[in-house]
Amino acid sequence: MGLALAACLTASPATATTTANRDGGTTAVGAGLERYYHQRLDWRSCVLGPDDGKGRDLEKAGARCADVTVPLDYADPRGRTITVAISRLEATDPRHRVGAILLNNGGPGGTALESPPDVRKVMKETGPRFDIIGFDPRFVGRSTPLDCGWPTGTAIFSAGHDRAGFERQATFHKRLADTCRATNASVLPHVSTRNTARDMDVIRGALGERKISYLGYSYGTYLGTVYTQMFPGRFDRMVLDGAIAPGDYGPRLLRGAERENERALSDWAAWAARRNDVYGLGRTRAEVLATVDRVVASSARSPLTVGTAPETFRLDDTRVPLLLMEGIADDTDPGRTALGEQLAVLARAADGQRTRLSPQFAALLRFMLTGEQSHYGSVQTAILCGDVAAPRDPERYWRDIERSRAGHPLFGPLTNNIGPCAFWDRPREEPTRVRRDAPVLIVAATGDPRTTYRSSVELHGRLPSSKLISLKGANHHGLYGSYGNACVDDKVNQYLATGTLPAKDQTCVKQVG
């Protein structure tokens, strides 16, 4: 199947046509795909209704929206179609226009339709020179939807402390996979990063661009890498922030990040210890970490009940580690404050006290533990499962959990746990491997607990023409424009403005203050 799909996109003289582009160039288009690359986009208001805050913000910024039609199955371009939602903030300096830059915020399953106004601000004087394009990948957000009705966090719960709990989760994940397959059988085979990359190239063609620039975060760095391998020569400036090497990507992508997460938790504990009068978690790093261990142990004996009626949540030792991992990926003061408030609530619950939840904490728990935003978790899992085959034998997961538990008792049972992908149909295509060089800019924090610095360095090594910006001393996932490091932002903006990569790798330092 992989060869058949590749044949559709690697056009030969006998099967390809060419399409003119805005800058006068031409691009080969696979047979049967002409109508997608040549489609006329209907730009309209981004506002969908009176309660559409996202649409109003886009409209206020001057953005317009459109739906791009793409084939569900690129091996059958005359068959069923779906739509991919995009937004555009047009260049306001047309005399110095560079082109279009496409955005992806990661996930997988994250939206970026709403992002052009914020990205234009981050790009400073370079922003007006680009058409900034946000898009919701296939089955995400405003694009043709996919929803299995799942709580978002189910795919990355911890295994907990015993075999009985692991068995319950294996049964649960099998049921999730079976349910999703039963309700979405016709589309699941086509939920993949390679198909999203194909959609990106249709977007490029529909916009009339010979080449397109790209800014991707987290999972979006994998998507960007895949695009460079599938469509060499069709990208201009590419920034991959929080980058992951393709060999590290897959359903178990958090494996190998245990030490980085432990370091981030330890650094947060030192921060919380200096604020013991606020959170009461301990006066030293060791005392705070002991409180964390006490909370997890208490949740293993009996689930912690947090919140007040009518909205309460029960958190056992399969869920508490996920909350911790979620919190330590942001080492800004607001991020650390949020985790401090959450741990204070959990510590009181472990002592049997009644607890109240802040609106932010309640929203996070609804997101992770209920079906309130199940489309996000559904698409995230479907993409991961559709990209790379997961081990199918539950015993393999259990062995990995037990081996990892000895050295990493908190995070090992999470990063090695079983998930729905163990019960998924095998992907239609082989995973993407890096076989072509690509001149891209990689941005990475040395203490990133999500996509590790080691993985970013690995990708850098596989793309010899790439350059790497390293931020030292940060336990943070995603830097450009969101972390507030002037060194990183300025270096990325210089590249976007000139299209010239730095002569050598660059190092920035976390700002303290």
The pLDDT value recorded for residue 28 is: 52
CA 413/CA 163 separation, integer angstroms: 11
Q: Is the pTM of this model over 0.85?
A: yes
Share of the chain above pLDDT 70, in %: 93
What is the DSSP annotation of 292-312?
Answer: HHHHHHHHHHSPEEEEETTEE
The DSSP element (H or E) to which 81 belongs, if any, is strand 81-89
Inside any domain, residue 8:
no
Largest CA-CA distance found in the chain, in angstroms, rounded: 74
Specify the number of domains making up the chain: 1
Which of helix, strand or coil describes residue 343?
helix
Let me know how long the chain is: 513
Tokens of 298: 């208490």
Intra-chain end-to-end CA distance of the chain, in Å = 54
Inside any domain, residue 312:
yes
Inside any domain, residue 264:
yes
Inside any domain, residue 113:
no
CA 152/CA 6 separation, integer angstroms: 32
The pLDDT value recorded for residue 513 is: 55
Given a cut of 70, the residues of the chain with pLDDT beneath it are 1-30, 151-155, 513
Inside any domain, residue 194:
no
Sorted by sequence, the CB contacts under 8 Å of residue 385 that are 6+ apart come out as 177, 251, 420, 421, 424, 427
The pLDDT value recorded for residue 153 is: 60
Instruction: Provide the residue range defining the domain that includes 299.
Output: 258-368
CA 416/CA 255 separation, integer angstroms: 6
Inside any domain, residue 340:
yes
CA 453/CA 314 separation, integer angstroms: 34
DSSP state at residue 390: P
Q: Which of 39, 47, 89 is nearest to 199 (CA)?
A: 39
| Residue 114 CB neighbours (<10 A) | 22
The model's pLDDT over 176-194, given as tens digits with 9 standing for 90+, comes to 999 999 999 999 999 999 9
Contact by Cβ (8 Å): 112, 103: yes
Inside any domain, residue 146:
no
Which of helix, strand or coil describes residue 335?
helix
Inside any domain, residue 424:
no
Tell the residue number behind the tokens 């060869």, with chain if given: 3
The model's pLDDT over 392-412, given as tens digits with 9 standing for 90+, comes to 999 999 999 999 999 999 999
- The region, left, alpha or beta by phi > 0 then psi within -120 to 50, assigned to residue 235 is beta
